[in-house]
Amino acid sequence: MAAGYTKVPVRFIVFILFFYVLLQPCSSQSDVKVSASPVREIIRNRRQVCVDGTYDHEGRTCCLCAAGQYLKKDCSSSQDDRICDQCESGTYNSYPNSFKSCRPCTSCSHPNANLVVAEPCTIARDTKCRCKEGHYCTSNTGSCQICHPCTVCSTSIKEPCTATNNTVCNEPEGNKTTAIVVSVIVGLIVVVAAAVAVLLWRRKKAAQQPQAPSETTANGNPADVEMQRLIDIQPLLPQIAEQLAWKDVEHLATRSGIPGPAIQSCKLDHPGDSQEQTLQLLRRWVECQGKRAADNLVQNLRESRQIAKAEKVEEILYNKNPTA
């Protein structure tokens, strides 16, 4: 009996010790988790002390007040012991700040501004205004101070009035017709004025030409030798033009006072055909020269040191006019 009694407590003790050792690590891990949780909480709380940011005051860093609040007292011993107070009605602060007061809300009821409230003011947001119906504002910032009445079209509407753009009206049909008629009339006046100016210039030029003395032809009949040359030179102009270049005749026309537009018109009438351009300008020059065209042509060529061309022209003239 005594021996059996002593074996039972030993087995019981061993069993208890085994379970104690087995459960010891779990108990240790549980203790670590419990002890670590407050540490993480403290770190998290420290990081979230200034959720809206900070500002500097007398060498200390203080937490900003939240939107909709203003700073009543700066911090003294810790970052978050500053004192903030909520904005009063009619005032706001739209972002975290260290202002000593809140800003007054914008009013949309200015005289003649034509504004109405789009969104009312809150402690964290200013009033938003918009134009009254039938008004517009062209502000690029999106914040209008004054709205203008939309234009009322007397004709059909091309683009309707919006909050940022005025009405665009279609032009009346009568205005288009009037504009065309006016353009045509102005064009005709310009053309007539140019024609009158050229005519007056030709008359003045002809009046300045000296009168040649009257002579007698070979058959004994009185005649104007210079007029005879003018009549005979006309059929010879194509041959004479072949001996001259455009620049030669242009130089003659310019020296004789023929207007630049009249010279250029000869070129425009025959684009790409320099021979025909030269011939047309030469004919115009001969008409302006009058009775002394043949003599003046040869003389001008010699004065311009175009001796060879002057001799060619003389040969054409005298072969056709042996009595000249």
CATH number for the domain harbouring residue 76: 2.10.50.10
Q: Which of 112-116, 123-127, 214-218 has the lowest mean pLDDT?
A: 214-218
Task: Note the pLDDT tens digit of each residue in 244-289.
Answer: 888 888 888 888 888 888 888 887 888 888 888 888 888 888 888 8
Task: Write 317-322 long-range contacts (CB < 8 A, 24+).
Answer: 317/229, 317/233, 317/236, 320/232, 320/235, 320/236, 321/228, 321/229, 321/232, 321/294
Inter-residue contact 253 to 263 (CB < 8 Å): yes
Higher confidence at residue 65 or residue 31? 65
pLDDT for the residue 222: 40
H or E element that contains 148 = strand 148-149
Domain boundary among the residues 43, 71, 104 is at 104
Is 212 contained in some domain? Answer: no
Q: Which of 19-23, 153-157, 244-248 has the lowest mean pLDDT?
A: 19-23
Residues 91 and 161 occupy one common structural domain: no
Q: Taking residues 75-94, what's their average pLDDT?
A: 94
For tokens 């260290």, what's the residue? 98
Q: Taking residues 26-51, what's their average pLDDT?
A: 50
Inter-residue contact 86 to 123 (CB < 8 Å): yes
Q: Taking residues 29-55, what's their average pLDDT?
A: 57
Provide the pLDDT confidence category of residue 9 given band limits of 50, 70 and 90. low
Q: Which two tokens stand for residue 114?
A: 């034509």
| Mean pLDDT computed over every residue of the chain | 78
Domain hosting residue 160, numbered range: 106-189
Is 199 contained in some domain? Answer: no
Is 2 contained in some domain? Answer: no
pLDDT for the residue 11: 67
Residues 87 and 117 occupy one common structural domain: no
In the three-class reduction of DSSP (H, G, I as helix; E, B as strand; rest coil), residue 44 is classed as helix
Domain boundary among the residues 46, 76, 104 is at 104
pLDDT for the residue 273: 83
Is 283 contained in some domain? Answer: yes
Q: CA-CA distance, 80 to 103, in Å (whole number)?
A: 23
Percent share of the chain, pLDDT over 70: 74
pLDDT for the residue 70: 97
Q: Taking residues 169-193, what's their average pLDDT?
A: 84
Q: CA-CA distance, 308 to 314, in Å (whole number)?
A: 10
CA-closest candidate to residue 61, choices 84, 83, 79: 79
